[in-house]
Every structure is written in structure tokens, then in C-alpha cells.
Amino acid sequence: MKIKVLGIQTSPNVDGLTATMAKRALAGARRAGAETALIHLRKLELQACLACEQGWGRCRREGLCIIEDDLEQVRERIAGAQGLVFSTPVYFGEVSEVAKNFLDRLRRCEVAGPGEPRTQGVFVLGIAAAGGGGGGGPSCQLIIERYCATLRWRLFDLMTVTRRSREYMLRAAGAAGAALVEFMCAEAKRAK
């Protein structure tokens, strides 16, 4: 079985620190033998939750959102992967607005809907790219960890990078991507 690792980066800057960290982690995953792909979430159409039917509508009944945008496409891509590199800029100590919007809607469909969540069990390497002094990185990591727990994603590791730590964290991101794939391969062998 070929290991698939999907990268989701949520910065508007496709060549900035957030995206570069995701790309570097995916490069490490490829070196370890994985098939990889990167989604720039800001390039997709993702509307905000409408909180239809007093807050719970089709998401609770069917596990689907009534909004016809790119949410379901990304959800299917996550469901088809064993690993996920989720990279977000840190905005005021939290994940980016586009990341929060996406994760909130995904969470409603995955957790509140009927049946087993489609994306559960994916191993996640979470990356918080903090600008400025980088003080919001740890609180952003806690938010990523909380989403992972709610979505029943398996947290592999969390990384925080700042402009000051950029160079060595880029090397660490490549090593983390490779380690993620090696870990998932070992887990697959143990499960047999």
C-alpha cells in the first residue's frame, strides 16, 4: 500500500513561511516513499457556516453541509490519505480564519453527522507559523491539538516556527515529514 500524505496550508501567501514549512514536510514525506499533494486552502471556495436550522441542519442529519463549495472535495482528499500536514499562520495566538472556518464546518459534518467520521484516524503533523515574536505559537498548537482530538485525528507531532527559527525548522519539517511516513509504515506493519 502506498502511503498518501496530504498537505493543507492556510496562508494567503503561497510562498511564505506557512506554505514553505508544509512544502518542506511534504518533501520529507516523498523522500520516505509517500505520495503527496498540497492544497492551498485560501485558493478554494470555502464559505462560513450558516448555522442553518437553528444551528444544526443537514450536517447533523446526513453528515453533509448544505453549502455547495469546496469543503466536500477537501474532506474526500483527507479521507483518502493516511497522513496530513496541516500548516497555519498564527493570528493572535490562534489558527488562521480560513483554517478555523474550514475546521469548524468539517467538524460539524464529521462529528455531528450519522455514522463513522470519514476522516478519522489520519495522522497529523501540525505546524504553527508565528510571525512577529512568535509568542502565539504555543496557544495555536493547543487549538490544533483540540481540533485533532474532536475530529478523531491522531496527532503525530506539533511544530512551531518563527522568522528567527526558520532555517533550522525548515530542516526539522523535512525530517518530520519523513518520520511521519516511517511511523505510519511501521503502524501498518504492526496492524497486519
DSSP per residue, the chain: ---EEEEEE--S-TTSHHHHHHHHHHHHHHHTT-EEEEEEGGGS--PPP--TTTT-SHHHHHS--SS-SSHHHHHHHHHT-SEEEEEEEEBTTB--HHHHHHHHHHHIIIIISSSS-SSTT-EEEEEEEE-TT-TTHHHHHHHHHHHHHHHTPEEEEEEEEETTTHHHHHHHHHHHHHHHHHHHHHHHHHH-
Q: Is the pLDDT of residue 31 over 90?
A: yes
Residue 188: pLDDT band by 50, 70, 90 thresholds?
confident
4-191: which CATH architecture? 3-Layer(aba) Sandwich (3.40)
Residue 5 contacts residue 177 (beta carbons within 8 Å): yes
Q: Is the pLDDT of residue 60 over 90?
A: no
Which one has a higher pLDDT value, 9 or 192? 9
Residue 36 contacts residue 91 (beta carbons within 8 Å): no
> Which tens digits make up the pLDDT trace of 99-151?
999 999 999 999 987 888 999 999 999 999 998 777 899 999 999 999 999 99
pTM as predicted: 0.95
Mean pLDDT, residues 11-26? 96
- Per-residue model confidence (pLDDT) at position 56: 82
- Per-residue model confidence (pLDDT) at position 106: 95
- Per-residue model confidence (pLDDT) at position 1: 66
Among 3-12, 86-95, 164-173, 182-191, name the one with the lowest average pLDDT: 182-191
Mean pLDDT, residues 49-69? 89
